[in-house]
Structure 1
Amino acid sequence: MDIHSITTPEDHSRALAEIERLWGAAPGTDEGDRLDLLATLVEHYEQHAFPLGDTDPVETIRIHMDMTGRTQSDLAALFGSASRASEVLNRRRALTMEMAYRLNSEWGIPAETLIRPYELEARKRSA
């Protein structure tokens, strides 16, 4: 794959596939440099094509999952629990710093979009 500007959804998909292939390449190697450059181009494209604006952390996660084809099962694997992923997506559990860190470091979601305050669903109490 030749490296060039990412301007279309097709370019974006190809770049993501190449990033996945290169994932884990050592920094300073040709493949590591290629990975770094592609990640920068993808980040630039996504910031302009999919602006997050004032979305709260849960909306941000959902948008990112839709954009990257990830599922709730992928989120469960990242968080270590299916119930934890479900609770976060349904606003019954707040993101922890560790969850935000993993979303940032492993999925590339900008940390500043994950640390915004947001409302949780009120829990129903039995009377």
Structure 2
Amino acid sequence: MDNLHNEKHYKMALSRVWELMENSNKTYTEEQEMDMLVTLVEAYEEVHIPMQPSDPIAFLKYKMEQDDLKQLDLIPFIGDKTKVSKVLNYKQELTVAMIRNLSKGLHIPINFLIPA
């Protein structure tokens, strides 16, 4: 497959990527297939699926869920529990210091924490 011509091809490729990602014992050929499909999926998405403005708080909440973190776990990076609550409820924006601390402490790429 050298191109994803429509949404049906895109969904098939995406499904195969997920299938390959779940396989922890991939052969070299499967690794190559996955790399090729990821490239095709990314190219299709770039053209056909516009990027949404980034939402650093939504990503932070996702990261908390993935890493089983509670609001109290963010205190070292954001400040006291009141500040953490305000940030997570969109009542206070992340400061540069908070972004730096979260990026370093939780291993989050800095561009995921900068609003659009």
Structure-2-length-normalised TM-score: 0.52
1:18 shift after superposition: 0.2
Return the offset for 1:17: 0.8
Contact kept? 1:25, 1:35, Cα under 8 Å: no
Higher helix share: 2
**Using the alignment, how far apart are the partners of 1:89 and 1:4 within structure 2?**
43
Q: Is the 8 A contact 2:54 2:114 kept in 1?
A: yes
Partner of 2:79: none
Query: Unaligned stretches of 5+ in structure 1?
Result: 63-71, 102-110, 119-127
User: Which structure 2 residue ranges, 5 or more long, are not aligned?
Assistant: 74-84
Q: For residues 51 and 90 of structure 1, do their structure 2 counterparts lie closer, same or farther at Cα, with a shift above 3 Å needed?
A: farther
Q: 1:117 to 1:28 in 2, by over 3 A?
A: same
- The offset of 1:91, in angstroms, is 3.5
- 2:20 paired residue number: 22
Question: Secondary structure of 2:9's partner?
Answer: helix
**Residue 44 (structure 1) aligns with:** 43
CA contact (8 A) 2:10 2:41 kept: yes
User: Of 54, 71, 79, which residue of structure 2 is paired with 1:57?
Assistant: 54
**Once superposed, what is the RMSD of the aligned Cα atoms?**
3.9
Alpha-carbon contact 2:55-2:115 (below 8 Å) kept: no
Kindly state the Cα deviation for residue 77 of structure 1 after the two structures are TM-superposed. Answer: 4.0
Aligned partners of 2:11, 2:70: CA distance in 1, in Å? 27
Matches within 5 A, 1:63-102: 77-81=65-69, 91=90, 94=94, 96-97=102-103, 98=106, 100-101=108-109
Q: TM (normalized to structure 1)? A: 0.49
Greater RCO, 1 or 2 (C-alpha within 8 Å, sep 6+): 2
The count of corresponding residues between Structure 1 and Structure 2 is 91
Distance in structure 1 (CA, Å) of the matches to 2:29 and 2:55: 36
Per-residue Cα deviation, 1:41-89 (whole angstroms, up to 9, x for no partner): 101111111222xx54218x68xxxxxxxxx8x76642424869xx788
| Structure with the greater alpha carbon radius of gyration | 2
Q: Which runs of 4+ in 1 moved over 6 A?
A: none
The answer on whether the counterparts of 1:6 and 1:45 sit within 8 Å (CA) in structure 2 is yes
Distance 1:11 1:90 in 2: 39
